[in-house]
Amino acid sequence: MKKILTILTSVALVATASVFAHDHDGHGRNAMAGDHFKKMDANGDNKVSKEEWQKFHDGFFTELDKDADGSVTLEEMKAARIEKRDEKKEEMKEKVKEAKAKKNDKKKKPSE
Residue range 58-101, pLDDT digits in tens: 988 999 999 999 999 999 999 999 999 999 999 999 999 999 88
Reported as a pLDDT band with limits 50, 70 and 90, residue 34 is confident
Does residue 112 surpass a pLDDT of 60? no
Report d(CA 36, CA 17) in Å as an integer.
25
52 in Cβ contact with 40 (< 8 Å) = yes
**Taking Cα atoms as reference points, which of 97, 84, 90, 86 lies closest to residue 36?**
84
Q: What is the pTM of this model?
A: 0.49
Average pLDDT, the chain: 81
pLDDT value of residue 77 = 92
Does residue 26 surpass a pLDDT of 50? no
41: helix, strand or coil? coil
Does residue 22 surpass a pLDDT of 50? no
Residue range 54-64, pLDDT digits in tens: 999 998 899 99
